[in-house]
Amino acid sequence: MPKLKQSDTEIRNAIRKKHILGNQAKAGLGDEEIATKLHMIKRTFQLRVKRPDTFTMKELIKMFQILKFSEKEIVEMFKEAKEV
């Protein structure tokens, strides 16, 4: 069976997930620590990382601060998939 082409949403989510996990590793923070700072349970955070489009704007802003995202990374996370 041929592999299906990824949708724009899947491409954007993959890019966002890459940035989140990369900055999480740089910061040396575990899922539990970040979830606590975002006022959610660990499992909710893990599910949102799997599908980053489910984060609320308030959660994203807080996460950008916690994980010290650069302006360039933030802009890239909101680019259209066609631009990447």
* Domain contains 77: no
* Domain contains 3: no
The residue range of the domain holding 31 is: 8-72
* Domain contains 27: yes
pLDDT tens by residue, the chain, 84 residues: 677 888 888 888 999 999 999 999 999 999 999 999 999 999 999 999 999 999 999 999 999 999 999 999 999 888 765 555
Instruction: Output helix, strand, coil percentages for the chain, rounded to the nearest 5.
Output: 70, 0, 30
* Nearest Cα residue to 48 out of 83, 21, 84, 72: 21
Quote the crossing angle between the two packed helices 71-78 and 8-27, to the nearest 10°. 160
Distances (CA, A) of 16 to 2, 7, 42, 70, 84: 26, 14, 18, 13, 12
What whole-number distance in Å separates Cα of residue 14 and Cα of residue 44? Answer: 18
